Structure 1
Amino acid sequence: MDLPPGTTGFCAVILAGGTGARLGGVDKASVEHRGRTLLAHAIDALVDASEVVVVGEAVPTERPVTFTRESPRFGGPVAGLLTGRDALLRAPGTLGVLAVDMPFVSPWTFRRLHEAALGHDGAFLTDAEGRRQLAGVLDAARLDAVRPDLEGQHGMPLHRLLADLDLALVAPEGNEARDVDTWADLRDL
């Protein structure tokens, strides 16, 4: 992925606006792991980004970020990703996307994803079985080229949005691909 002229490099979107249904409706962003919220872990993973937008409820953070919500709420990852993309103040060359519930993703993860994305439209982390996870980088211009109209975003699965993109897959190192969907997942971390 080469950066187009006039772009600022790497910006990112954290998806933190889900219902937390398997956690009894608890806001995942505020759940703590090792004394810090999952949102704080996600923001730390994106330290290399020049701008971060969080799609979810606004809460105090250690680093400055922009908060926004998709409309209607709970529209799924595509609606969240594109809402976050539209809330960026800068024009990114690459756009990172990270689910708030992946506390082991780090800046090193995103550096590896950027390296793997060279010559592709982006790269995504996989789990140990090779399934794509919600941690990746995308060429922002390629994402813009395949985005649906507003009505097509709500409830759209991410794999459908990304179907026409050439994406590299990156195997996890250690626990990078672990996420928190249930209280048992949090306990097992």
Structure 2
Amino acid sequence: MNDVSAPPESRPGPPPYDAVVLAGGAARRFGADKLATLVDGVPMLDRVLASVAGAQRRVVVGPERETAAEVVWTREDPPGSGPANAVVAGLRACAAPYAVLLAGDLPYVDAATVARLLEALVADPTADGVMLVDDDGRDQHLCSAWRRAALERAVAARPDWGGAAVRRLIAPLSTTTLAAQGREARDIDRPEDLTSSS
């Protein structure tokens, strides 16, 4: 029988988490609804959602689309008011002690990526969050795992996050990074990004 009284950090396996996938944006450089684009025969958004199949709840922030996954849809208020506001909207639908934040245009992220992020977070009790860093040394704020309570403290720091970047929202938090492996941190902005070398 599972010991449900034990804290998440002491239980075997990944800790209980919800996933927030940002799926808004105009995709002007892509020229179409890029999240519906097939990557190895699977829509990009479905690939991202498959990486968090172990989440207690998968929350997608953006206009509703067809998807094979069971998800909770929500929108930032007002729609189009920026990625930090989208994270805020997604968090409102979360209840698990951990939250994974993903951009909807990361088709090469997978369950192993998510597991590494969560494992690193649980292993470091001083960290509020863990994010991937790509080959160019850029922190991937939307490929990250967080203690939900820490994110909510950051959200409470100001009444309106409209127009703000995610990096501003998480700036006060204690974070660590993991080096990306292969293509997992590659986001897709243009069609040619899907055919360029890894």
TM-score (norm 2): 0.85
Distance in structure 1 (CA, Å) of the matches to 2:65 and 2:160 = 29
- Structure 2: stretches of 5+ with no match in the other structure: 1-6, 10-14
Kindly tell me the number of residue pairs found equivalent between the two proteins.
Answer: 182
- Structure 1: stretches of 5+ with no match in the other structure: none
Superposed, 1:1-189 pairs within 5 Å as 3=8, 9-24=16-31, 26-88=32-94, 91-118=95-122, 119=125, 120-133=127-140, 134-148=142-156, 152-188=160-196
* Aligned partner of residue 137 in structure 1, secondary structure: strand
- Per-residue displacement from partner, 1:45-71 (whole Å, max 9, x unpaired)? 101111001111212222210111112
The letter of the residue matching 1:177 is: A
- Per-residue displacement from partner, 1:121-172 (whole Å, max 9, x unpaired)? 0101111122111211111001111114775211111111111111110101
The letter of the residue matching 1:111 is: A
TM-score (norm 1): 0.89
Q: Percent identical across equivalent pairs? A: 34
* Aligned partner of residue 29 in structure 2, secondary structure: helix
Larger radius of gyration: 2
Runs of 4+ in 1 over 6 A off after TM superposition: none
* Aligned partner of residue 111 in structure 1, secondary structure: helix
The letter of the residue matching 2:47 is: H
Indicate the RMSD between aligned Cα atoms, in angstroms.
1.9
